[in-house]
Structure 1
Amino acid sequence: MERGVLGELIADLAAEFDSLRVLITSGTDLVRPTPAVGWDIRSSVSHLIGCDLLAKEAIAAPDEFQRARPATDDGLAELLESHIAARRDLPAKDLRQEWDEAFAALLRAFASSCRDENVPWFGPPMSPATLATARLMEYWAHGQDVADALKIVRQPTDRIRHVCHLGFVTFEFSFVNRGLPVPPSPPRVELRLPSGLPWVRGPEDGRALVTGDALDFALVVTQRRHRSDTSLTCRGEVAEQWLAIAQCFAGPPGPGRAPSEVPY
Structure 2
Amino acid sequence: MSDPNRLVSQVVDDLDAEGDALESLVASLPPEQWSKATPAEGWTIAHQIGHLAWTDAASIKAATDPEAFQQLVTEAWSNPTGFVDEAAEEWARIPPAELLETWRAGRSKLSDALRAVEPGTKLPWFGPPMSPVSMASARIMETWAHGLDIADTIGAAPEPTARIKHVAHIGVRARDFAYAVNQIAPPAEPFRIELAAPDGTTWTWGPEDAAQRVTGPALDFCYLVTRRRNLADLGLSAEGEDARQWLGIAQAFAGPPGKGRPPANG
Q: Equivalent residue for 2:153?
A: 149
Correspondence list, 1:34-183, <5 A: 34-70=38-74, 75-183=79-187
CA distance in 2, matches of 1:54, 1:62: 10
2:245 counterpart (217, 227, 241): 241
2:214 counterpart (199, 210, 223): 210
Q: Equivalent residue for 1:223?
A: 227
Q: Equivalent residue for 1:6?
A: 8
Q: CA deviation at 1:112?
A: 1.2
- Aligned residue for 2:106, secondary structure, equals helix
Is 2:51–2:91's contact at 8 Å kept on the other side of the alignment? Answer: no
CA distance in 1, matches of 2:155, 2:261: 17
Q: CA deviation at 1:82?
A: 3.1
- Show CA shifts across 1:89-122 (max 9, x none): 3222111111111111211211211121100001
The answer for unaligned runs of 5 or more in structure 1 is none
- TM value normalised by structure 1: 0.94
Residue 19 of structure 1 aligns to which amino acid in structure 2? A
Is 1:225–1:261's contact at 8 Å kept on the other side of the alignment? Answer: no
Is 2:191–2:212's contact at 8 Å kept on the other side of the alignment? Answer: yes
Question: Is 1:196 aligned to 2:200, yes or no?
Answer: yes
CA distance in 1, matches of 2:62, 2:22: 24
CA distance in 2, matches of 1:74, 1:27: 37
Q: Equivalent residue for 2:21?
A: 19
CA distance in 2, matches of 1:83, 1:261: 33
CA distance in 1, matches of 2:172, 2:42: 28
Q: CA deviation at 1:256?
A: 1.5
Is 1:224–1:256's contact at 8 Å kept on the other side of the alignment? Answer: yes
Residue 10 of structure 2 aligns to which amino acid in structure 1? E
- Show CA shifts across 1:16-69 (max 9, x none): 000000100241501111111221111100000000000000000112212431
Is 1:20–1:143's contact at 8 Å kept on the other side of the alignment? Answer: yes
- TM value normalised by structure 2: 0.93
Is 2:46–2:92's contact at 8 Å kept on the other side of the alignment? Answer: yes
The answer to which structure has the higher helix fraction is 2
Q: CA deviation at 1:72?
A: 6.1
Q: CA deviation at 1:232?
A: 0.8
CA distance in 1, matches of 2:215, 2:76: 37
Distance 1:261 1:60, change over 3 A: farther
Is 2:50–2:91's contact at 8 Å kept on the other side of the alignment? Answer: yes
Report % sequence identity: 37
Residue 20 of structure 2 aligns to which amino acid in structure 1? D
- Aligned residue for 1:189, secondary structure, equals strand
- Aligned residue for 1:182, secondary structure, equals coil
Aligned CA RMSD, in angstroms, stands at: 1.7
CA distance in 2, matches of 1:90, 1:143: 19
